Structure 1
Amino acid sequence: MTLQLVTIPCRKDNYAFLIHDAASGETAVVDVPDATPILAELARRGWQLSDILITHHHGDHIEGVQALRAATGAMVIGNAADAHRLPPLDLALSDGLTFTIGAEVGQMIEVPGHTIGHVAYHFAASGLAFTGDTLMAMGCGRLFEGSAQQMWQSLKRLAALPPETLICSGHEYAESNARFALTLEPATPALTLRLGQIAAARAQNLPTVPSTLADELATNPFLRAPLLGAALGMADATDAEIFAAIRARKDKF
């Protein structure tokens, strides 16, 4: 890994992420639920913030952006198509376009579903993907704006990344998500093991994110939709239809 990663708890259950390039000193943050803990971590490490990356427009991901920009002078990067409801962007990107943090190239990936304008950021050399509220530890975001078909296609794009990729998601929902997953696949050893690991981490007030994509592929029911059709009585359904049924169950869980 060329970029150093720091996970910062914010608000009740949000996370922000710092990524730091030691050679150049450049440092970025992904999402800003609250500027205060981010500024404290920057000061503790002696880092100067250069970039602010936004995954989507929800307040619990952007409420601290203006204060953080004012305190640091950092450049704000986000989705050009969603610029009308984001803080003012200094760099507006669209799907597939790239930018740099130090020597490392980051790529924006459009992943609509949770919101229409949701994006992720992939840093291939460091094996990092910042997925906000799209792909989450043991789960995925609710469909507030997009369709199940859109979200399923977004999850497929993220699932195609290298399995060792660290998935940096925006909330501490893993324990509840794991309990839900067990209702669908109660006899899966990998799932039982992961639930134990999650419970142990939370007992020590430790984050359950990031997680590896390999672990998500093995245990996340939303990525495993094609394998769950028969168990849900949907053997003839499309993968997107099975995903939609799983999402509807989770909404009521």
Structure 2
Amino acid sequence: MKLRKKQPINIYIILQSSIIILFLLAFIYILKEDWLLKYLHPRMAKYVWIAIVLFAGIILSYIKQLFSYKKGKRIPYSYLIFLMPILLMFLVPPVTIDSSSIQESRVNRMSIESNTTNNTESVKDERDNSSISQLNAPFNNSALYSNNGVLEIEKDDFYSSLMELYYDLDSYVGQQIAIEGFVYRDDLTQENEFIVSQLLMSCCVADVQLIGLICEYNHTEDLLMDQWVKVHGTLTRGEGDNQQMAVIKVKQIEEIDEPNHIYIYPY
């Protein structure tokens, strides 16, 4: 299809502006629907807002070119390729990952080793030591919150609470504990064990790893993988293969609703 030699409106600027406007609206929609939080740390939202402002600036800069004339050419259908990401965004809606998406090398159990000379503890990742650096990020090292003698660990303070146990487990052994998370089991868990877990995101979904505490429970067959539960029990130091770990002797389990946003953040 041929365009006339001169157009009252520059069709190329119209096409380019339309594509940029669509991207701008798509970014706003992603923020509005909280899709961003399925893939990125909340602190990354500021970069999306920066992109929105830049898109708006580009659109404004195009206005003065809107009535500039160009020699007639074929309409550049290659512009349509820029519409593919927007179409895919709606044809393939965002999904939240679960434990089946986590490689075994990205599962962290908290392990405490005592040093007889300086009484320090260290984290031991049984599968991938390179992931420890993410667990050593800054955290709130205040004591665990106790409600009527029960250590309450909820989603928002899950990471900082586990780090507190890592640094000072002996101060909490024998205390009652209530903790929220989802059920995870793998080849390393015993028949009477499961891990009450959360998904830790440092930057984006690509670095998500599973962290949690081992729970000893005599009715694990009643639990489903990825089922969200609140575990009530007694905090102990493990025995045998788990002797360097914090272990919960389960007394009661109650099912809870899955939160809207399943990730926790180290900072």
Q: TM-score range by the shorter chain?
A: under 0.3
**Greater relative contact order structure (CA < 8 Å, 6+ sep):** 2
Instruction: Give the number of the structure whose alpha-carbon radius of gyration is greater.
Output: 2
Length-normalised TM-score, structure 2: 0.21
